[in-house]
Structure 1
Amino acid sequence: MTSPPECAGPVAVPADLPGRLHRLAVAAGAEDFVALSIGATVLAQRLSRLGSTRRVRVIRGHLEAITPVPAEPDGSFRAALREAGGLRNAAARTESADQRVDVTIVVSQDGTCLYAENMINSADAPSALCWARTFVQLLTGLACDPDAPMSTLPLIDAAERERILHGLNRYQRPEIRHRTMAEPFEEQAERTPDAVALLDESGTAVGYRELNMRANRLAHFLIRQGAGPGTRVGICLRRGIHQIVAIYAAVKTGATYVPLDTDLPDARLAYILEDTAPTHILTDAVCRDRIPDDPWHLVDVERELDGCAATNPIVAASPAGLLHILYTSGTTGRPKGVAYPTAGALANLAYMQGKYPFEPDNCALFKTSAAFDVSIWEIFWPLYHGACLVICRDGGHRDPRHLARLVESHPVSIIFLPPTVMSPFLEQISAERARLRWTLCGGEPVTPRIRDTFYATLPDTTLLNCYGPTEANSVTDMPLPDEPGAPVPLGRPAANFRVTILDENLELVPVGMPGEAYIGGEIGVAQAYWRAPGRTAERFVPDPYGPPGSRMYRTGDLCRYRMDGVLEHLGRIDRQIKIRGLRIEPGEIESVLASHPAVADCAVIAHDTPVRLLAFVVPVAGTAVDDLDLTAIEQHAARFLPDHMRPKQIVPMSRILTDVNGKIDNRALIAAWRDRDDREHGFVPPADELEAAVVAIYRRVLATESVSVLDNFTQLGGNSMLAFELFDECKQTLGAQPEPEQLLIGTVREVAAAIRHASCLPDVAGS
Structure 2
Amino acid sequence: MLSKTDCIGPIIVPAGVTHTLHSLATAAGVDDFVALSVCIGVLAERLPRPGTDCRVRFTRQEVEAILPLPDAPDPAMSFRDALRQAAQSEAVTTAETDDAPVAVTILITRAGRNLYVESMTDASDVPSTQAWAHAFLQLLAGLTSEPDAPMLSHPLVGPEERELIRHGLNPHHDPEIRFRTMAEPFEEQVERTPDAVALQDEDGNTVTYRALNERANRMAHHLRGLGAGPGTRIGICLQRGIQQIVAIYAAVKTGATYVPLDADLPNQRIALILADSAPRLVLTDRVCREHLPDGAWEIHEVGTEQAWSDRPATDPVVEDGPGLVHILYTSGTTGRPKGVVSRTAGTLANIFWMQRQYPFHPGGTALFKASPGFDISIWEIFWPLYHGARLVICRPGGERDPRHLARLTRDHDVSLIFLVPTMMTAFLEELSQAPSEALKWVVCGGEPMSPRIPEAFTTALPGSNLVNAFGPTEAGPVTDNVIDPGTTGGSVPVGRPADNFRVTVLDANLDLVPIGAPGEAYISGQVGLADGYWRQSAQTSERFVADPYGPPGSRMYRTGDLCRYRADGALEHLGRIDRQVKIRGLRIEPGEVESVLTAHPAVGDCAVIAHGQPLRLLAFVVPVGQGSVADLDPAAILEHAAGLLPAQMRPDRVVPIDYLPATVNGKIDQGELIKIWQELAERERTVEPPADELEAALIDIYHRVLGRSPISVLDTFVQLGGHSLLTFRLLDECKTTLRAEPDMTQLLHGTLRDVAATIRGTRIPSPQD
- Shared fold (TM-score, shorter chain, > 0.5): yes
Query: CA 1:699–1:3 in 2, change beyond 3 Å: closer, same or farther?
Result: farther
Matched, 1:269 2:270: yes
Query: CA 1:567–1:53 in 2, change beyond 3 Å: closer, same or farther?
Result: farther
Q: What secondary structure, in the 3-state scheme, does the structure 1 residue paired with 2:110 have?
A: coil
1:201-221 CA deviation, whole Å, 9 max, x = no partner?
111100000000000001001
Q: CA deviation at 1:4?
A: 2.0
Matched, 1:555 2:556: no
In 2, Cα distance between equivalents of 1:562 and 1:343: 31
Aligned to 1:161: 162
Identity %: 61
Q: CA deviation at 1:127?
A: 3.0
Match of 1:485 among 477, 489, 510: 489
- Stretch deviating more after TM superposition (287-296 or 501-510): 287-296
Match of 1:436 among 439, 445, 465: 439
What pairs up with 1:396-411 in 2 under 5 angstroms?
Answer: 396-411=398-413
In 1, Cα distance between equivalents of 2:127 and 2:103: 15
Q: CA deviation at 1:697?
A: 4.0
Matched, 1:245 2:246: yes
What pairs up with 1:193-208 in 2 under 5 angstroms?
Answer: 193-208=194-209
Preserved contact between residue 127 and residue 517 of structure 2 (Cα < 8 Å): no
Aligned to 1:137: 138
1:657-706 CA deviation, whole Å, 9 max, x = no partner?
11111111111011111222223334557688876664454355345567
Matched, 1:462 2:465: yes
Preserved contact between residue 363 and residue 388 of structure 1 (Cα < 8 Å): yes
Query: CA 1:139–1:682 in 2, change beyond 3 Å: closer, same or farther?
Result: farther
In 2, Cα distance between equivalents of 1:61 and 1:439: 54
In 2, Cα distance between equivalents of 1:558 and 1:126: 12
Match of 2:87 among 68, 85, 90: 85
Preserved contact between residue 141 and residue 153 of structure 1 (Cα < 8 Å): yes
In 2, Cα distance between equivalents of 1:455 and 1:124: 28
Aligned to 1:448: 451
1:599-627 CA deviation, whole Å, 9 max, x = no partner?
11001000111111000111112422022
Query: CA 1:281–1:736 in 2, change beyond 3 Å: closer, same or farther?
Result: closer
Q: What secondary structure, in the 3-state scheme, does the structure 2 residue paired with 1:298 have?
A: strand
Q: CA deviation at 1:298?
A: 1.8
Q: Which amino acid aligns with 1:701?
A: V
Query: CA 1:377–1:632 in 2, change beyond 3 Å: closer, same or farther?
Result: same
Which sections of structure 2, spanning at least 5 residues, go unmatched?
none
Q: CA deviation at 1:398?
A: 0.8
1:721-763 CA deviation, whole Å, 9 max, x = no partner?
21101122334455554332332222234445666776799xx
Q: What secondary structure, in the 3-state scheme, does the structure 2 residue paired with 1:324 have?
A: strand
Q: What secondary structure, in the 3-state scheme, does the structure 1 residue paired with 2:259 have?
A: strand
Q: What secondary structure, in the 3-state scheme, does the structure 1 residue paired with 2:128 have?
A: helix
Matched, 1:416 2:412: no
Paired residue total: 759
In 2, Cα distance between equivalents of 1:682 and 1:144: 70
Preserved contact between residue 180 and residue 317 of structure 1 (Cα < 8 Å): no
Query: CA 1:216–1:572 in 2, change beyond 3 Å: closer, same or farther?
Result: same
Query: CA 1:124–1:451 in 2, change beyond 3 Å: closer, same or farther?
Result: farther
Aligned to 1:283: 284
1:477-525 CA deviation, whole Å, 9 max, x = no partner?
1101122224300100001000001111111111111110000000000
Aligned to 2:638: 634
Query: CA 1:50–1:419 in 2, change beyond 3 Å: closer, same or farther?
Result: same
Aligned to 2:186: 185
Aligned to 2:518: 514
What pairs up with 1:236-635 in 2 under 5 angstroms?
Answer: 236-301=237-302, 302-304=304-306, 305-319=308-322, 321-430=323-432, 431-482=434-485, 483-635=487-639
Runs in 1 of length 4+ with deviation above 6 angstroms?
A: 122-126, 685-690, 756-761
Which sections of structure 1, spanning at least 5 residues, go unmatched?
762-767
In 1, Cα distance between equivalents of 2:692 and 2:335: 48
In 2, Cα distance between equivalents of 1:707 and 1:582: 31
Matched, 1:228 2:229: yes
Aligned to 2:663: 659
In 1, Cα distance between equivalents of 2:758 and 2:324: 52
In 2, Cα distance between equivalents of 1:475 and 1:469: 8
Q: Which amino acid aligns with 2:672?
A: A
Aligned to 1:765: none
In 1, Cα distance between equivalents of 2:270 and 2:693: 48
Q: CA deviation at 1:123?
A: 10
Preserved contact between residue 399 and residue 721 of structure 1 (Cα < 8 Å): yes
Supply the RMSD in Å over aligned alpha carbons.
2.3
In 2, Cα distance between equivalents of 1:760 and 1:260: 39
Q: Which amino acid aligns with 1:458?
A: L
Q: What secondary structure, in the 3-state scheme, does the structure 1 residue paired with 2:15 have?
A: coil
Q: CA deviation at 1:638?
A: 0.8
Query: CA 1:99–1:235 in 2, change beyond 3 Å: closer, same or farther?
Result: same
Preserved contact between residue 524 and residue 557 of structure 2 (Cα < 8 Å): yes
Q: CA deviation at 1:152?
A: 2.5
- Stretch deviating more after TM superposition (737-746 or 368-377): 737-746
- Stretch deviating more after TM superposition (268-277 or 15-24): 15-24
Matched, 1:16 2:20: no
Matched, 1:31 2:24: no
Aligned to 1:764: none
Preserved contact between residue 472 and residue 559 of structure 2 (Cα < 8 Å): yes
